[in-house]
């Protein structure tokens, strides 16, 4: 079973001024694939707070997958990509490139996403958009690759698949 942590990154949601629709939707989608959400959190757009949560989920709880939602745009308070880049060991650009490319089918603004994806130790970290629609579309786009990525990180992938 894939263990998952979800972080909603939003000043307004963390202050109780807006409902966390994206985090709830991500939890539903990830649960449908048989994964277990072990922790779901809401944090502000403060970079240090984001970094601390990413490290906690990866290093202490040792989840297989961290999905973030929010903070990937052009606003001065959008710090998720920088926080993610500072904690990952390796970037996986194909995931975010694919989300942006497929996102163009839904909105021309998909190319403005600054999302990152990468690995910290044996945890896969993926930034999703903050809007419920964008989060759902992006996650559905990459969902088929996630179980294999987790198997590879765990060292459980079959040899021929691991080299793909």
User: pLDDT of 74-111, one tens digit each?
Assistant: 999 999 999 999 999 999 999 999 999 999 999 999 99
Range of the domain at 22: 3-162
Measured distance CA(153)–CA(150) in Å, rounded: 5
pTM: 0.95
Say if CB 114 and CB 56 are below 8 A apart.
no
Measured distance CA(133)–CA(22) in Å, rounded: 8
User: What CATH number is attached to the domain comprising 45?
Assistant: 3.40.980.10
Give me the DSSP letters along 62-90.
--SEEEEES--SSSTT--HHHHHHHH-SE
Domains in the chain: how many in total? 1
């Amino acid at each position: 079973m894939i263990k998952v942590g979800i972080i909603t990154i939003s000043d307004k949601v963390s202050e109780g001024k807006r409902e966390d629709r994206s985090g709830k939707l991500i939890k539903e989608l990830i649960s449908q694939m048989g994964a277990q959400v072990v922790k779901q959190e809401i944090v502000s757009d403060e970079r240090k707070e984001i970094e601390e949560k990413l490290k906690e989920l990866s290093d202490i709880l040792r989840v297989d997958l961290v999905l973030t939602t929010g903070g990937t745009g052009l606003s001065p308070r959008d710090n998720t990509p920088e926080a993610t880049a500072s904690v990952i060991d390796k970037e996986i650009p194909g995931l975010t490139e694919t989300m942006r490319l497929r996102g163009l089918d839904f909105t021309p603004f998909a190319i403005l996403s600054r999302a990152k994806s990468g690995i910290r130790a044996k945890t896969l970290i993926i930034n999703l958009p903050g809007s419920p629609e964008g989060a759902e579309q992006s996650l559905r786009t990459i969902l088929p690759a996630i179980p294999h990525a987790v198997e590879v990180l765990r060292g459980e992938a079959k040899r021929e698949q691991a080299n793909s």
